[in-house]
Amino acid sequence: MMLTLSAQLLERDRFGSGIFTHIQPATLTTHIISDVASFRELRNDWNALLQACPNDRIFLSWEWFYTWWLHLSENRKLHIIVVRLDGVLIALAPLALRPARMSRLMPWQVLEFLASGNVGSDYLSFLIRPGHEQTAVHEIAACLAKSIRMLELVRIEKSSAGMAELSRLLQVTGWKSLGLTTNYCPYSILSGHTWDSYLLSLHTRHRKNIDKMLRRLHRDFDVSLHVAATEAEREWAMDVFVRLHLRRWSMNGGSTALNSKKLIDFHLAFSKTSLERGWLKLYTLLLNGTPVASLYVFKYGNVYYHYQSAFDPDYARYSPGTAILALGIKNAIEDGAVEFDFLHDNEPYKYLWARQDRELIRLELYPAGKMGSVYQHSATIQRRIKRLVHKCTTNQETKP
């Protein structure tokens, strides 16, 4: 009798003895986590899977998602798709079900990534174990197709093969897809650089300005850079960071990064977790012992992620924001970092330091049928309204 591969049964003759070993069919299971207890219990498996993924980034860590869920999820519902092969976790789709938003012309539930919204998560994606890409994406696509809900997936790196394959598979079944560029993440390559060689890679005018600014600071002040290393230091440095950030932006229409107690509480909690995991790089620049600037950075693997900064506007003439960023990048180089990622929002100042960027997109997926068409029509109206509001706001700001 010949055993075929399609029957998923292999046999071999052990030492020619005629004793055969049979490999049983692999068991593939897919289920959805919708309760917090199961989410919490997934921590070790989640991070083990992430470490095996080529897109391993801090914004895909269990800690980032779980802290967000505790502080910022509001009335969303968990919808984490879990795929296992013989009990081994091979894929995760970290999703949540967002409730209807009548004020935004979305009177129905929408599936989105965990940690979406204004918390500033970048490079969101599925987590897929290498070697299982095709199986995993097929399972996730089949699971999503059954839900018949619109997906609004933000801050995806455009080069993500997994997200492109998901879109293709759903389109085969009649879904419609729309990908829109929303932002860019500038970044500096630090590998192979010393601080001096990195400075030489920058524009001449910017390099001279950095040198002039640092010499002026050291001439006029006793300059020191403090890096939080203990829990007490973290608490002090986060208090300084929040205070400086809010004070600076109070003069510019208010902060969008720390515009609620929930957001502040999220960062207080995640910075504590980050310190415990060795991810936190929280810098405070002191001039004559007075804190005048903060730099909130995550070190994950060999990449530094520039999350946010702040400075005291009373010292603006000394460019403390630029100074602490320069000192932070210098520290990253000395620490052996291969990259300094400025994350989303391609403000001009970031390109003074960075020569490369990554494109981020929003992927909208609409189910087949009439309901999918309604989703798509409403999303189109919503985008048009946003553009109109942005245009009107811009015109108002530019009026003399």
**Alpha-carbon dihedral angle through residues 50, 188, 158, 57, given to the nearest 10 degrees:** 10
C-alpha–C-alpha distance, residues 20 and 351, integer Å: 64
108 and 36 in a single domain? The answer is yes
Of 293, 322, 337, the one marking the end of a domain is: 337
250 and 375 in a single domain? The answer is no
C-alpha–C-alpha distance, residues 45 and 90, integer Å: 10
170 and 205 in a single domain? The answer is no
Average pLDDT value for residue range 5-28: 46
What domain range is 291 assigned to? 191-337
Alpha-helix runs per DSSP H in 102-203: 133-147, 161-172, 195-200
In the prediction, which pLDDT does 1 show? 30
For residue 107, pLDDT over 90 is answered with: no
What pLDDT, in 10s, does the model give residues 191-241? 999 999 999 999 999 999 999 999 999 999 999 999 999 999 999 999 999
Distance between terminal CA atoms of the chain? 88
51 and 198 in a single domain? The answer is no
In the prediction, which pLDDT does 260 show? 92
270 and 382 in a single domain? The answer is no
For residue 23, pLDDT over 60 is answered with: no
147 and 253 in a single domain? The answer is no
Hey, how many other C-beta atoms are within 10 angstroms of the C-beta on 52?
Answer: 15
Q: Please give the full DSSP string across 332-355, using - where no structure is assigned.
A: HHHTT-SEEE--S---GGGGGT-S
388: in domain: yes
CATH number at residue 277: 3.40.630.30
Local structure of residue 53 (DSSP, 8 states): S
Q: Encode burial over 66-101: b for 16+ CB neighbours within 10 A, e otherwise.
A: bbbbebbbeebebbbbbbbbeeebbbbbbbbbbeee
Average pLDDT value for residue range 130-138: 96
What pLDDT, in 10s, does the model give residues 67-77? 999 999 999 99
Q: Between 103 and 271, where is the model more confident?
A: 271
In the prediction, which pLDDT does 81 show? 98
Task: Look up tokens 């520039």; give the residue.
Answer: 306
69: in domain: yes
12: in domain: no
246 and 332 in a single domain? The answer is yes
In the prediction, which pLDDT does 377 show? 55
312: in domain: yes
In the prediction, which pLDDT does 103 show? 56
In the prediction, which pLDDT does 156 show? 97
332 and 386 in a single domain? The answer is no
Full strand arrangement of the beta sheet holding 28-33 = 28-33, 80-85, 88-93, 127-128
Hey, how many other C-beta atoms are within 10 angstroms of the C-beta on 21?
Answer: 9
How many domains, the chain?
2
178 and 197 in a single domain? The answer is no
The model's confidence at residue 255, banded by pLDDT at 50, 70 and 90, is: confident
Q: Between 305 and 8, where is the model more confident?
A: 305
113 and 206 in a single domain? The answer is no
Average pLDDT value for residue range 383-394: 53
163: in domain: yes
CB proximity list for 291: less than 8 A, separation 6 or greater:
226, 240, 244, 284, 285, 312
Q: Write the burial class of residue 238 (CB in 10 Å: 0-12 exposed, 13-18 middle, 19+ buried).
A: buried
- Taking alpha carbons only, the member of 344, 358, 342 closest to residue 116 is 344
321: in domain: yes
At CB < 8 A and 24+ separation, what contacts does 13-16 make? Answer: none
116 and 135 in a single domain? The answer is yes
32 and 178 in a single domain? The answer is yes
The model's confidence at residue 380, banded by pLDDT at 50, 70 and 90, is: low
112: in domain: yes
Mean pLDDT (the chain, rounded)? 88
Local structure of residue 226 (DSSP, 8 states): E
Question: Are the C-beta atoms of residues 339 and 302 closer than 8 Å to each other?
Answer: yes
3: in domain: no
